[in-house]
Structures are given as C-alpha cells and as structure tokens.
Amino acid sequence: MMDLAAINPLLKDEYEDYVAELVHTETVALDQFTEGDMESADGRRVIIAAHLRRDHAGVGFVGEGRQLPTPAAEQSGFFTVPFRKSAARFQVTKEAIDQAQTNRGSFVRTLSYIMDHLVENLTDIRNKAMCHFGSDIIGRVNGNPAANATTITVDDPGGVAMPTGVSNGSRFFQVGQVLAGISAGAIVANSPVTVAGIAPASAYNDITLAANTANFADNDVFVRAGSSTITSIEDTSYLQAPMGLLGHVDDGTYVMDYFGLSRQTWDVLKSYVFSSVGALSSDTLQQGVDVAYSRGRGKISKFLCEQAVRRQILALREGDVRYEGSGNVNPDAGSKAGHTGRTISYAEIDILVDYNFPYGMLMGLDNSGLIHYQVVPGKFEDWGGSVLLPAAGTHTATGLFYIYDNFFNDAANKSVRWDGIDVSVTNIHIE
C-alpha cells in the first residue's frame, strides 16, 4: 500500500517567503511626546530657567495713608536635564550574511532582519521605560530567597507596587535578560545573573535563573546589566533610562528631585495624585479633570492606563446599555467600546491603553508641556561608511544603533494621576 509514510521521501517542504511575527511592539506611552515639542540639542545637558513661586508679600490692598506692601522677590530656579543613551548592539558572522544573500538561500536577508528587529527591541524597552520613572527597575525581590537560589519570587514590576490582590510580578522579565541586583545603591555581590525562564506556577510571580552564586534579599531590585562581567553600578542601567511619564506626572512618590528641583520644596512641581482610589467612579474621574484645571489651568488631552483600568471605565457605563430594534433579537453582551482596539473616551478625552502601564493606575495627561530633547534621534553608528565593525581575529562584525535624548515636562501641575484603582488582572506573560 502506498501511504504517506511510503511517499514521504519524495515530498518537498513548502517554505513561505515570510517570517511569522509573534513578538509585537506598541509605543502608546512613548508616542505622547511626539505630540509635544521636539527640540534638537547638543552639549552635556539642557538648563531650563523656572518660575517657581509668585511674590505674595509685595502685593495687596492699601488703606489711605497706610504702609505699602513690603517688596519681595519672585522665586525661581533651574532645571538640569541630562541626556540618556539608549543603545542596541548586534554581532553577526560573515557566513550568516553570505549564505542569506538570495531568496533561494533564505527567508530574509540576515543583516536586514537583525537590524530591523534590533531597532524594534530598543523601541520596546524605551516604551516600557516611558511608562515608569527613569530607574529601569525590572522588578523587586519579594522575600528572602535561599542562598544561591535559582528560583526567585519577584514583585513591583517596573518598580511600582501592584494593587492588593494582583499578581504578575514577573511581568517585565524576559528569558535571556542579563540582570544585576542592586541593594542600597550598590551591586549585589556575584551578580549579574541570566534569566532562564518565567515560572507560571505561582501566578507569574517567579523567575528562574540559569545559575546563581549571589545571595539576593528582600527588596533588592533587578536592572539590566551591560554585560556578564560588570564591576560597578555604573555598568548597569540603574537610573540611566530617559525620564518616564510616571516621573513627569508625580507628587514625589517616585521622583522627588525632578531634574535638580525638589518637589518637597516646590509644590508647583507636583501633579495631583489620588492615592488608594479603590473603586473607580465617574465623580472621581471628574474630580481629576477639575483639579488639573484648578492647579495649573491644565486641560487633560489624554488618559493613559493599562487594560484592567480600561475595563473599570467601561463598567461605569454598563447601566446605560439599551437594546433597540434588531438588538433585541441578537443582543450583543458587550458593546462596540469593548473591543480592545477601539478608542473610548471620557468627557470627549481619549483613553489610550498601553499594556506596559502600571496596574491600577490612570494618568490624565496635559501634553502641552511635554518636550523631547534630542542630540541623536536614532542612528546606526557609521564606522567609516559601514554599520559593521570587524572584530579582530575573527570573521565576525558588530553593529550599534543608539539614541541620545531625554524627556521633560515643564508643567507637571497641569496633569493628574489616580493610583490604587481596584482591578482584576489576568496573569499572563508577554514576550
């Protein structure tokens, strides 16, 4: 009998001329700065003069023949915005390039494939950074692991505490990451370590390491290591990321010193933050819109949140659903707004979703004060006419893509934030 097994040696495999793209990148948070000012810059940093407080002593109403107000001075200071480098490096052999020169020999051109995805990968971590506050904290050790343990329980993804009842502490860890542990401003001895897996058995709160000779302790934080052989905290990404939205729209909870000026000293640098919100309500949302206007004459242009908060906003309208006409025959249990890809709004203000945004948090952003300072907007380093730099003694080459920039908000008091919103989160891990 001639069956499939018998003719299998005669059959060919059919190869499609594309690569299935299973890894996706969205840049909702990062995109907010494209709508603000874009400033070209150079030098070491940007210095910005700031008017911080009015002269409240030198003005007033005066009775006939009485003393005039005592003159005082307007209060001012300077912001100092340093530039931050985002870098992506690759290595490729000459054989890999040569053997993928034609359609017959490969699915895609090796060099184009590497370079395109390198930029995407860097864009992805920059967007994650934009959802946080410039620390580049991936997560925090939860509890005291055994000495040299290769399974570590983690929480506080992105350096932000999760709402009560929410897990998924390994949210921003990825297989292959080389991480340094930071404790009290210093590298944990015998780190870095390499992530070998994400353990779903405990609601995605565990990571597994390829090996571990370090002794991590409760509240140690993990950040990116520049290599597997770092010698100082300066060789890590700790506090080296561009400033994210959580630092730009803050009351000092995450960033007290905002580019050289203290939010503890200058209240005008604070955004209003509703803490421990609990159940979200329309009144709470409206309070935020009103407070932003009262404090800084802010006009909220966008709301930003994660999907779980979006669901809470949708739930506020459940009582308004009505079915008419054909809807009575086959009523949709949801609404058109329930589709994740569809933009919804409150008070005609778009509510944008970034799946990297902290759980249980909503940000009302007036983006009129957002400024993007760029020294290098993004380029492959050109080594004498080529993006490839040969490695001595081998038939390999390296390449480097980098961005040199930072972000600034000159009107933090125009924006507002809601923290600690009650949410229910589905425990998943996103590559």
In a domain, 58, yes or no: no
- Does one domain contain both 377 and 348? yes
Residues 259 and 392 in one domain: yes
User: Does residue 351 sit in the same domain as residue 406?
Assistant: yes
205 compared with 72, residue with greater pLDDT:
205
231 within a domain of the structure (yes/no): yes
Please report, for the domain that includes residue 98, its CATH number: 3.90.1690
Please give the pLDDT value at position 323.
Answer: 54
pLDDT of residue 109: 62
**Mean pLDDT across 166-186:** 94
Query: Do 229 and 248 fall within a single domain?
Result: no
Residues 35 and 86 in one domain: yes
Number of structural domains the chain divides into: 2
Residue that finishes a domain, picked among 213, 240, 267: 240
The answer as to whether 92 is a domain residue is yes
> What is the structure's pLDDT at 101?
59
Q: Are residues 398 and 250 in the same domain?
A: yes
Whether residue 270 sits in one domain with residue 176: no
pLDDT at 198: 93
Last residue of a domain, one of 216, 240, 264: 240
* Same domain assignment for residues 268 and 231: no
- Of residues 111 and 12, the one with the higher pLDDT is 111
* pLDDT tier at 170, thresholds 50, 70, 90: very high
pLDDT of residue 96: 66
Task: Indicate whether 271 and 384 sit together in one domain.
Answer: yes
In a domain, 174, yes or no: yes
Domain shared by 416 and 274, yes or no: yes
For residue 104, the model assigns a pLDDT of 46
Predicted pLDDT at 95:
75
* Segment 374-387 mean pLDDT: 86
* pTM, 2 dp: 0.86
Q: Does residue 46 form part of some domain?
A: yes
* Most confident by average pLDDT, 9-18, 198-207, 298-307: 298-307
Q: Has residue 372 got a pLDDT over 50?
A: yes
When pLDDT is cut at 50, 70 and 90, the band that residue 99 belongs to is low
Taking only the tens place, the pLDDT of each residue in 259-313 is 999 999 999 999 999 999 999 999 999 999 999 999 999 999 999 999 999 999 9
Q: 412 and 267, same structural domain? A: yes
118, part of any domain: yes
Q: How confident is the model at residue 40 (pLDDT cuts 50, 70, 90)?
A: confident
Domain of residue 94, residue span: 27-52+76-134+242-317+337-424
Within a domain: 6: no
What band does 321 get if pLDDT is binned at 50, 70 and 90?
A: low
When the pLDDT of each residue in the chain is averaged and rounded to a whole number, the result is: 85
Neighbouring CB atoms inside 10 A of 275's CB total 10
Q: What is the pLDDT of residue 44?
A: 77
Q: With bands split at pLDDT 50, 70 and 90, how would you rate the model's confidence at 7?
A: very low
Residues 44, 182, single domain; the answer is no
> Which residue, of 190, 216, 240, is where some domain finishes?
240
Going by pLDDT thresholds of 50, 70 and 90, the confidence category of residue 340 is low
User: Per mean pLDDT, which range of 214-223, 226-235, 294-303 is the poorest?
Assistant: 226-235
Residue 56 has pLDDT above 90, yes or no: no
Look at residue 62 and tell me if it is in a domain: no
Quote the pLDDT of residue 349.
Answer: 94
